[in-house]
Chains A and B, each alone.
Chain A
Amino acid sequence: DTGVSQDPRHKITKRGQNVTFRCDPISEHNRLYWYRQTLGQGPEFLTYFQNEAQLEKSRLLSDRFSAERPKGSFSTLEIQRTEQGDSAMYLCASTYQTGLAGNTIYFGEGSWLTVV
């Protein structure tokens, strides 16, 4: 049973460029989350999907950010026109969610983004 995998693990990009991160959740997990973590802080919620539907976005997710989960399996997070403030680690997580219970959420190793 493989865990949550993310690609790439590290990305350095110039300001203004677009970047895309991919997340492959644990198979059969129906819920997928994206978080952002900056140095010295805990992860902050960005958005989540229930199967292929994106059900909520945080205020942190500006218009330059877009996430998709087209077939309810893998997900992508794209950042357009990157800014230095986007430098952070982007974490993907997944769970099998039934009802309203707070099931255990499993995280990937994260994708580090550095905008220069």
Chain B
Amino acid sequence: AQKVTQAQTEISVVEKEDVTLDCVYETRDTTYYLFWYKQPPSGELVFLIRRNSFDEQNEISGRYSWNFQKSTSSFNFTITASQVVDSAVYFCALSERNQAGTALIFGKGTTLSVSS
């Protein structure tokens, strides 16, 4: 069973629109960590945020915000007033404490295209 699901394969918006990227995860661990990474065309995975399972506070960083809801096993990511530079593939990932190496389990990613 897929542990991290990003149901949106591709999203296209026009600059200045708000956009939300969905992430649903599955785990039996009580302690786990959730991440978002951005992958621009260059290929490097750029870390955006890390959240542990005990911290359900939403977080805002500039135009980025994250909504973590354990009740629905979701960790959604919103970009406010999107810009062309936001165009990239965004990955949600899960790290389980009981998984060897706490290696990340990634979703399939959502490709965001922002046009001017």
Contacts and interface: CB of A to CB of B under 8 A. Distances in A.
Interface residues of B, number: 30
Contacts, number: 72
B87 to A, nearest CB: 16
Interface in B20-51: 31-33, 35, 37, 42-47, 50
Nearest to A9: B43
18 contacts: A33-B103, A40-B109, A42-B108, A43-B45, A44-B106, A45-B105, A93-B45, A100-B31, A100-B97, A101-B97, A102-B33, A102-B95, A103-B102, A104-B50, A105-B35, A106-B47, A109-B42, A110-B44
Nearest to B31: A100
A102 B102 contact: yes
A104 B32 contact: no
A31 interface: yes
B104 A43 contact: yes
Interface string A85-116: 00001010100010011111111111010000
Given A43-B106, A104-B50, 15 more contacts: A42-B93, A43-B45, A43-B104, A45-B101, A48-B100, A55-B100, A56-B103, A91-B45, A93-B45, A100-B97, A102-B32, A102-B96, A102-B102, A104-B47, A105-B104
Given A89-B43, A107-B37, A42 B106 contact: yes
Interface of A: 31, 33, 40-45, 48, 50, 55-56, 89, 91, 93, 97, 100-110, 112
B91 interface: yes
Contacts of A106: 47
